[in-house]
Amino acid sequence: MFWDTPYNPYPIGTGLIWIPAMAVTSLFFQNRFSLIYEIGPGLTGIILVIGGLYFLEKYLQNFFSKKVATASVIAIFLTSNLLYYSSFEPALSHQPAFFIIAFLLYKTYKMSASFHNYLLVGALGGLLFTIRIPDSIFLIPVIYQILENRPKFKFIIVSLISAGLFTIPLFWSYYIMTGNAFRMPYLTGDVGSFSYSFKNLYNFFFTAKRGLFTWTPVYLFAILGLIKSRKYIFILTLGLIIFVSSSWASVSVAFGQRFILAGIPYFAFGIAEIIKTVKYRYISILFIFLFFWNLLTIFQFYFNKTEVIKDDNLTLKTFIIGQFKTPIKTLGLIKDEGLNHVFYNKLLY
């Protein structure tokens, strides 16, 4: 039983990514229910984020100077929720999804026509579907880049077959658990159901409880940059994933709207456009503010959970005040209770 369900609704792909780390850990520890087993998947997630940032920088250099590409990658990392998900909660499906999208964008831009290239691209596309089904939407710009290369029909077939083979574990796992390979409880029923409404879309962006622009305002500037750059395929892709995610789960779990993490390469393009356009002095002030806002949000997420997580009536005013009030309260708590008490009771548990 998994969370009172007769099966595990989550896709199997992330577990497959963790197998090498778990195998290495098994060489040294026998108790597989020990917390030590979280270290392997966590390190895997960190490595995948670093790798994704590397390929993202290489991809952006096709459109911007090396200086702008590097600055945009650093900026999006420090000011977005990617900082949280690579530092505090790296053992999730979002890290491998982010890496795959960043790598495929880099790989497929003016990709040479070869059997091996199209086999690899198809395999990673299928693996992404096996890891996070909705994140397949992020493949739209990748497919667009492939088609711009005017590949031969035989290469398209190779990619499709490769992708199909790498989705077999997902369909097989659902068949074993539910008796129907095409029943995907991750999308409907057990985890969430779709509800299309303007309220859900508004909450996705602006709610004080993990709203995209409320918790990570850098994404607003990234979208403005994408509009300025006229990168319409990126805008279309992000719009579609936001529509699907807001209709599926308008208030994200954990830290912020993490459903768009694999789309960070597209947001980074918008940030690069902003950096290229705005004067250095002003852009530095902006990103310093966004970086500290991100740190304050992470801090409040851990040390003010009663309000920002459990309070369904949380208002935007309360959230903003909490950004600056929480550190002061925490310092007082450390003075009264001691650092160890605060660390173990607020940060770890």
pLDDT in tens, 96-142: 999 999 999 999 998 888 899 999 999 999 999 999 998 999 999 99
pLDDT at residue 346, as a whole number: 61
CA distances from 27 to 22, 30, 37, 124, 181 (A): 9, 8, 11, 28, 34
pLDDT at 235: 96
Q: Identify the residue with better confidence: 194 or 306.
A: 306
**Which spans in the chain are helix H?**
13-26, 39-60, 66-79, 82-87, 94-108, 115-131, 140-148, 153-178, 198-206, 212-215, 218-229, 232-248, 264-277, 280-303, 305-308, 316-337, 339-342
| Most confident of the following: 176-190, 243-257, 275-289 | 275-289
Distance CA 169, CA 93 (A): 16
Tokens of 124: 């990673």
Tell me: pLDDT of 344 over 70: no
Predicted pLDDT at 47:
95
- pLDDT in the model for residue 341: 65
The count of other CB atoms within 10 Å of the CB of residue 240 is 14
In angstroms, the CA 184 to CA 178 distance is 9
- Does the predicted TM-score (pTM) go above 0.85? yes
pLDDT band at 197 (very low <50, low <70, confident <90, very high): confident
Give the model's confidence band at 190: pLDDT under 50 very low, under 70 low, under 90 confident, else very high: very low
Q: What per-residue confidence (pLDDT) applies to 3?
A: 45
CA dist 262 and 304 (Å) reads 27
Give, rounded to a whole angstrom, the gap between the first and last alpha carbons of the chain: 24
State percent of the chain over pLDDT 70. 90
Mean pLDDT of 269-278: 94
